Amino acid sequence: MRKTVLPFAVSLVLLIFMASCSPSKNTATEEETPIPVLEEGDTAHFTLLQTTDVHHHVVGTGPSASYDTENDTTQGGYSRIAGNIYIIRAQNEEAGIPTVLVDSGDYFMGTVYDMSLGKSPAALNYFESMDYDAITIGNHELDYGPTPLANFFNLAVGAGPVSRFNVPVIASNMVTNGHPGMDALKTAGVIKDSLIKTLDNGLKVGIIGLLGKSAASDAPVKAPLTFTNDLSDDAVVQAIQAKVDAVRAAGAHVVIALSHSGITDPDGTPGGDDVTLAQNVTGIDIIASGHNHEMTGDVVTVGNTKIICAGRYGENLARLDVTVTIGGAMNVELTNYPIDSDVPTFDVMQIFLVGALDSAINQALAAGGLPAVNDIVAGTNSANMPIPEGPGETGIGNLCADSLRYLLGTSPATYTLGIVPNGVIRNGYALGQQISFADIYNTLPLGMTLDPANQTIPGYPLVLIHLNPTSIRNLCQLAAYTILANNDAAMAQLANPAHPMHAMYPILLNLKEDYYLNFSGMSYTYGAGFAVQESAVKLFSATDFSCQAVTGVTLDLIPDAAYIPCVVDLYTALIFLDPSLQGLLAAAALPVTPKVLSGQNYVDLSMANVLTARLDRDAETAGVQEVKEWMALLQFVTRPTAQGGLNSLIPDAKYGTTALSSVNASRVNP
């Protein structure tokens, strides 16, 4: 078997263009006009520009090979965002209005450009080149754990007396608990507790950075870092309030929270951790929200706090024009700028940053025997392959789950399973799309191993766990409940104390759509109350990789002492161990107990043994050569039909709407 190695020869031609990227720094020097001192009753203006949850979408979302071409259908992209920012800054400078540019986290993790992290992180180079005023840390920055994250910042800062990366990283509610790398970054001033920035017009803008409770729960390897974010705890509210009060006491006229916490249903009935933040902490004028990927069509006002969110993936740039009367009112106006193919690229950025990234990554891929970033590797004749937009069976969800189970090949087991949560699926495909290597990678791009020996290649490694019929049935029930939990009409009924399932209501409120599980190797039917019985779970043959014909065997016919092999990614395995999920499963009476093989015995999955369950793509080489999740999808899609693969065509016959509604190929039957 070919051994895939990415040496990360990713050294960039960087930063020679930085001075040209930003026409204004917003702060005066000794040679410029002195900054005025504002007094009560004075009026001042500034523009806040926000990006968030860009997830390393350097060339936006959509077919990567079409970016900046005649047939471009992509949205977002560094060079287009840069072009918009450049224009706004230039217009503001001419009008004498300062511009403040911020990012609310999750700038890493999500595309093939994560391959830059080991040498020169693309997102941090972009922030520096565009002269961002402040950024914060999202949960996906912690996908690698705090030690690699500290290394990424150190790579960006560089060695020597002149720092290459000077953008303040604001993390106000992060507790390092003695982590040496993060403590060193705080000591060096790279990571700050807060920031006060005096603009050219004398306005003092205070900035804090927060990681919310929901977001922190999505970072399973963040330890020993903790975050003060449980807003149901009075002590936590007081701690955050103290941060805001301190910034005010230091002279800030306006306080902005870069909050990777989240807002839900912003154009309907707003909710989420950032709404709770605004309800419980006073003195925050603006929350620049991130995490939930939901763009605010208009400003969400909670008390005296204004909340905005740019959305996700760089598909939108949020602009908030702010008028402040010192000691009085603040007025705001929100403008959202769609970043699509109508937005011209900023050529300097495209050539010197994006072009250099592509060149370096292609060199690394070639050394590993892999296609180049924009090499076309597959296509699809199905219109049913977009990214999941909610819980429920989808073509792309089935495809991803099938690709994991495909790795077991002709397993001696009669039945095998693959499980992929919606939250790790980050890309889909359009009818007739020419699918590049980057498009495949970007579909399952997240994560990093806990094993330093395998950290030269990004992506979650795959692990083999074993589940008995009770755990399998309970996971099917969890998936069905996730569908229920995201059905607004059904949940409104459950909120009624007289409803027979009312006791489930507070439990279901915690089931986000990202938790929905896509299965390969089985189908299930749920009935009244979304209940799933073991007799309603049917299994597919272990060699039926695309799940086209159920064998007729149901889960209740398999002894509970029997264990079925199941492939999951490391993130899913760690989530199974997370106390909050285990608490939720216990409250719902849905115990799930994954096992791993230890010799001839099945033992409970644990942090101590999870890495022993990894799949090894090259058993003849010493150590474990991890199979990353994106590798599984690439293999399944491109392998020839004779080897059980899809032969570079994702077929509508197996993943289209007709297949999903048929008796045999459908995996979820309400």
Instruction: State the amino acid at position 343 in one-letter form.
Output: V
pTM confidence score: 0.90
For residue 100, being part of any structural domain is answered with yes
Same-domain pairing of 346 and 436? no
DSSP 620-632: TSSS--B-BHHHH
Kindly report the average pLDDT of the chain as a whole number.
92
Q: What letters, b where the CB count within 10 A reaches 16 and e where it falls short, cover 264-294?
A: bebeeebebbbbbbbebbebbbbbbbbbbbb
**Quick check: 21 pLDDT over 70?**
no
Instruction: State the amino acid at position 421 in one-letter form.
Output: P
**Quick check: 434 pLDDT over 70?**
yes
Same-domain pairing of 269 and 335? yes
pLDDT digit string, tens, across residues 103-136: 999 999 999 999 998 888 999 999 999 999 999 9
CATH number for 422 = 3.90.780.10
Assigned token pair, 346: 């900023």
For residue 291, being part of any structural domain is answered with yes
DSSP 113-124: GGGGTTTS-HHH
pLDDT digit string, tens, across residues 60-105: 999 999 988 888 889 999 999 999 999 999 999 999 999 999 999 9
For residue 2, being part of any structural domain is answered with no
Structural domains in the chain (count): 2
Assigned token pair, 439: 């498009």
Domain boundaries, position 421: 375-669
The size of the chain, in residues, is 670
Same-domain pairing of 464 and 583? yes
C-alpha torsion 269→270→271→276, nearest 10: -130
Query: Which of 383-387, 554-558, 660-664 shows the lowest mean pLDDT across its residues?
Result: 660-664
pLDDT digit string, tens, across residues 242-301: 999 999 999 999 999 999 999 999 999 999 999 999 999 999 999 999 999 999 999 999
Angle, helices 180-187 vs 146-157, to 10°: value is 40
For residue 366, being part of any structural domain is answered with no
Same-domain pairing of 380 and 345? no
For residue 421, being part of any structural domain is answered with yes
**pLDDT classification of 15: cutoffs 50, 70, 90:** very low
Same-domain pairing of 206 and 259? yes
Q: What is the pLDDT of residue 241?
A: 98
For residue 290, being part of any structural domain is answered with yes
Q: Are 662 and 653 in contact (CB under 8 A)?
A: no
Same-domain pairing of 113 and 214? yes
For residue 5, being part of any structural domain is answered with no
CATH number for 104 = 3.60.21.10
For residue 360, being part of any structural domain is answered with no
Assigned token pair, 37: 């001192």
Same-domain pairing of 272 and 328? yes
Helix (H, G, I), strand (E, B) or coil at 446: coil
Give the Cα separation of 78 and 251 in Å (integer).
Answer: 34
Same-domain pairing of 330 and 414? no
**Quick check: 527 pLDDT over 60?**
yes
Name the burial class of residue 670, with classes exposed (0-12), middle (13-18) and buried (19+) by CB atoms within 10 angstroms of its CB.
exposed
Same-domain pairing of 507 and 565? yes
Instruction: State the amino acid at position 53 in one-letter form.
Output: D
Rg (C-alpha) for the chain, rounded Å, is: 25
**pLDDT classification of 26: cutoffs 50, 70, 90:** low
Same-domain pairing of 324 and 433? no
**pLDDT classification of 12: cutoffs 50, 70, 90:** very low
Same-domain pairing of 392 and 459? yes
Q: Given its phi and psi angles, is residue 272 left (phi above 0), alpha (psi -120 to 50 degrees) or beta?
A: left
Residue with tokens 């569908």: 483
Same-domain pairing of 124 and 260? yes
